[in-house]
Amino acid sequence: MIRVAVFGVNGRMGNAIAAAVMQAEDMQLAAAIVRPDNSLIGSKFAEHGPVISDVITQPQTIDVIIDFTLPKGVIEHLQYARPMVIGTTGFSQAQLDKIQNFAKQLPALHAPNMSIGVNLCYKLLAESDGALDSRWNVQIKDIHHVHKKDTPSGTAKHLAAILEQRKPVITSERQGDVIGEHHVEFANEFEEIVITHRAKDRGIFVQGALIAARWLVSQGPGLYSMQDLVA
């Protein structure tokens, strides 16, 4: 049984991940955690879950942490010294350096997108980049809901990093309740190729986080990504 702590269960992703952990036959929700000033402290998660708290008082009872909170929170949570699955985006370079240092001692998996489908798209893009000559221009479209804080999205930035030699143009749109869409368009004067990923349900990110947690607990120190799972 994998004992999981989930930070930010008051948020949409944290709540969904904690609920999925409780339903998984091979996992136990060891701690459902919010910040110290949150009104949920003292209540129970999903009526029958563990008491929500702001700190892990017994980190030795936790096998892995799943954290989709804000960058500042993730960095604070490194102190608990447990393997970490990090789905947060928008880190500064200094914060990324702290995660890298953490990973020298313990395994950490950081992915801007936990979707297996998106990570397969990353592989397709890398292959396409190697197969198409310099006459092909590339544009990335990033579409999300109006509440998404970072623009461009972490996924769009990663897509651009794969294609950095082509200097891709990123356009971002924030509209309605769109879960997430990414379109990569290769074009020359004769033809166009479009690789698209469209998230239909946030459950793809939840299940991806659980898959990552299952994989990470058996790894040694290092900084991993979802690409290591789909390789």
Cα 158 to Cα 144: distance, rounded to the nearest angstrom:
16
CB < 8 Å & 24+ apart, contacts of 58-62:
61/3, 61/30, 62/3, 62/4, 62/5, 62/30, 62/31
What b/e string do you get for 27-36 counting C-beta neighbours within 10 Å, with b at 16 or more?
Answer: bebbbbbbee
Asked whether the beta carbons of 93 and 209 are under 8 A apart, the reply is no
pLDDT at residue 46 in the model: 76
Write the pLDDT tens digit of every residue in 82-127: 999 999 988 999 999 999 999 999 999 999 889 999 999 999 999 9
Query: So what's the pLDDT on residue 35?
Result: 83
Termini Cα distance of the chain: 26
**Contact status, residue 104 vs residue 224, Cβ threshold 8 Å:** no
Pairing of strands 169-174, 84-86: unpaired
pLDDT of 231 higher than 70: no
Average pLDDT score over the chain = 91
Specify the pTM. Answer: 0.82
Give the residue numbers annotated as catalytic, written as ranges: 144, 148
Per-residue pLDDT tens digits for 146-204? 988 889 998 899 999 999 999 999 999 999 999 999 999 999 999 999 999 999 988 89
Q: Average pLDDT in the 68-82 region?
A: 94
- Would you state the structure tokens that stand for residue 84, as one six-digit string? 């970490």
pLDDT reading at 2 higher than 90: yes
pLDDT of residue 48: 62
Domains and CATH numbers, the chain: 2-114+203-230 (3.40.50.720), 116-198 (3.30.360.10)
| pLDDT score, position 11 | 87
CA-derived radius of gyration, the chain: 19
Tokens for 136? 């092909």
- Taking residues 35-61, report their average pLDDT: 76
Evaluated on CA atoms 217, 219, 225, 229, the torsion sign reads negative
The answer to whether 226 and 111 are in contact (CB under 8 A) is yes
What is the arithmetic mean of pLDDT over 26-50? 82
Say if residue 45's pLDDT is above 70.
yes
Strands 137-144 and 107-110: unpaired
DSSP structural state of residue 164: G
| CA gap 74, 70 in Å, rounded | 6
User: Own/partner pairs for 71-75, CB < 8 Å, 24+ apart?
Assistant: 71/95, 73/7, 73/8, 73/35, 74/7, 74/99, 75/99
The total number of residues written for the chain in this structure: 231
CB neighbours of 189 closer than 8 A, spacing ≥ 6? 135
